[in-house]
Structure 1
């Protein structure tokens, strides 16, 4: 049987995987979706749940779920889920195992020839070792590691035929983080020249902004029902909050292609209308900050934007039309994108040159304080 290869992009909020046997890499679908939530939940029997089952349990019992196991892997040896303490590597292993086993089933139980795991370029030996331990617990032996911006650049290089010595700036706005990087291929195969970004800025911040826009409309109509949702600390209130946040996140996604969305909120008989210009105006300060990180990273690589071969987009939140508009107007270059930027890293990991032995990551700048207000009272 023809050998095949697997890549897993274990993201902050979503995990994406791709396989390759003959021809181009193909995205792996789990539960009829290309994007498996990275969220993990622990049920009453002590079983770790992933996918829809985990999402449903987390909506009912938030204290029994870890929404961001990738961050936990780096910052916490273990986390508390309900009344139990669970090692962070077990949480990550649960997601990796789900993907690996689904891929195995797709190929009739035949083991992949290689498994490539992507990781932030800022991760060093210790973080990669933790990811490797989780992979081993998931039944994945001897994985190869590919830095996320290297994978993103490799995807666009393969698609667009970039020159062998191309220098590429990567703007990766995911659900939970902003990662910027400059990668070059002076001798074939991309390597990281500089990194930057903001681990506290991502698509969820854009969701928060849209929620605040919705809150403004709600307060203008009647503040009572909105306060009733967000003020009490009860299971029922948390469930309604989760529903509103899901609806707002869906509306944010829709505004990438639609010019307007309507949202319904409990306690209000009529829906609320939000138009794209209103949303884009609200998120523009955050997006301009994100572009400052990108230009700082280019400067840290000792380059100017004019010296780049390309600026490429990755991460689901980069689909926001205003991102491309601002890069074009502020940097004077049209960024390269694709219909599904969430998938760029997983697909590109299978296009990248075989990973070389790991080297220390370039230094990352310290965090810049950001102050962002979500809940507000309107007169």
Structure 2
């Protein structure tokens, strides 16, 4: 109230007037208060300046953004071997649609980079994993899930892993002999058809195709020939560990300095490969590579089936006849039940990566069993140990000093098992990098090698 009297002039009721100096101070304080209030109101809706970079404000943040956040413009793809933090060339033209295919032993993965630089996986029956299997039906070659389903009726006309047989000229499916390149081309043609269907464009020349680092000229030529038969002209062949190292440095942004090496541990569904890749100059070189053609994720599925079978035998006192028919089906109905058993075993293996215990139902038997992570890891340890010893041997062969090892990168779907990362760290003393979707790493890394 005395502030109002001061502004109104001398007091009319006999009280003393506010001194002039005090009046000026009061006006300054009032103006500062008003200005601060306006500033606070204006700053409402801005992101918290003290939040860490990249952190979105919380819903209850008192200065959280209230207006819609515009979608960021996609950044240009980085040079796959550029120094960390290097900026892309200014004014670089928008990239044309590009395709990369990781033709795997059990599954094939394909990714498309559109002209807006966005990367999307191709989906086959709602899954990014296309089974590499082929099946002959009256001379017609079925691929993917169609081939897998047809095998339940006539397994003699089925080949689940054509990639394992790339040292052969032909494969007999039933009573028909097929050129191996034609069988590989059938799967690659399925990929090309999906590009046309999903994106409405033709797969352009220069598709990136990955292959094991140990492949020689003959196997690489079969892959190139198959690509041409599928309409994928002038393919760019990229060694799988090189593609993985590119993903590690470019997509993940991990440090891979010149002269340093990355150990790539690739445990897929059908095979295991391990390599040492060094960044040298402007490229990536494979210093050493090895693998195990008889070990993959399917062997860990078999461990779950064995654990379940032990429980069945413990309950019945001897081998249950119905269980034996699941293991060695005699007709189409039993083959369908056997496929369900193996699908459940794979799902149980994946669940044990997250849970201490999981249930496995036995189709046709009306029995439910349980498998613990402890049981599974005890059975899996000898198999994982083989992969660890192979990785250690490759690292020794590459003769890379410990201070020149930039990291250990785990790719392939079977690396979701925590046991793999644990045993690798225990024996190699290198902290591994593990991803949520290790199946797409090689294909996405290969995209960055397309000119």
Pick the TM interval, shorter chain.
Answer: 0.7 to 0.9
SS in 2 for 1:163: coil
Q: How many matched pairs?
A: 352
Could you tell me which residue of structure 2 aligns to residue 17 of structure 1? 110
CA deviations on 1:29-67 (whole Å, 9 max, x unpaired) are 2221110000111113x2111122212101221111110
TM-score (norm: length of structure 1): 0.88
Could you tell me which residue of structure 2 aligns to residue 34 of structure 1?
Answer: 128
Question: How far is the alpha carbon of 1:190 from its aligned partner?
Answer: 1.1
The equivalent residue for 2:219 is 127
Stretch deviating more after TM superposition (298-307 or 30-39): 298-307
Quote the residue 1:370 is aligned against: none
After superposition, give the CA deviation of every residue in 1:60-94 in whole Å (9 maximum; x if it has no partner).
2111111011112x132111212211111111101
* Structure 1 runs not aligned, ≥5 long: 355-379
Residues 173-221 of structure 1: per-residue CA shift (max 9 Å, x gap): 0011110000011102211110012111111111111111111111111
Match of 2:295 in 1: 201
Pairwise CA distance, 1:304:
4.4
For 1:331 and 1:311, the matched residues in 2 are separated by 9
Which residue does 2:261 correspond to in 1? 167
Contact 2:130 2:144 in 1 (8 A): yes
Per the alignment, do residues 111 and 80 of structure 1 end up closer, same or farther by CA in structure 2, a change over 3 Å counting?
A: closer
- The offset of 1:306, in angstroms, is 4.6
Matches within 5 A, 1:141-152: 141-152=233-244
Structure 1 position 231, deviation (Å): 4.9
The answer on whether the counterparts of 1:168 and 1:184 sit within 8 Å (CA) in structure 2 is yes
In structure 1, the residue matched to 2:196 is: 104
Q: Could you say which residue in structure 2 is the equivalent of 1:75? A: 167
Query: How far apart are residue 163 of structure 1 and its match?
Result: 3.0
Decide whether the 8 Å contact of 1:152 with 1:345 is kept in 2. Answer: yes
**In structure 2, do the counterparts of structure 1 residues 331 and 306 end up closer, same or farther at CA, with 3 Å as the change threshold?**
farther
Q: CA deviation at 1:275?
A: 1.2
Q: Distance in 2 between matches of 1:270 and 1:134?
A: 46
> What runs of 5+ residues in structure 2 fail to find an aligned partner?
1-93
2:273 corresponds to 1:185:
no
Superposition deviation, residue 353 in structure 1: 7.4
Q: In structure 1, how many angstroms separate the alpha carbons of the residues matched to 2:440 and 2:237?
A: 17
Rounded to whole Å, the distance in 1 between the matches of 2:399 and 2:210 is 26
Cα deviation digits, residues 311-338 of structure 1 (max 9, x gap): 0011110111111111122221211121
Aligned-pair distance for 1:233?
A: 4.1
Residues 285 and 339 (structure 1 numbering): CA distance in 2 closer, same or farther, change over 3 Å? same
Residue correspondence of structure 1 range 1-379 to structure 2 within 5 A: 3-21=96-114, 22-23=116-117, 25-44=119-138, 46-72=139-165, 74-112=166-204, 114-158=206-250, 159-165=252-258, 166-222=260-316, 223-224=319-320, 225-231=322-328, 233-266=330-363, 268-352=365-449
8 Å contact 2:123–2:129 — kept in the other structure? yes
TM-score (norm 2): 0.74
Q: RMSD of aligned C-alpha atoms?
A: 1.9
**Retained in 2: the 8 A contact 1:36–1:51?**
yes
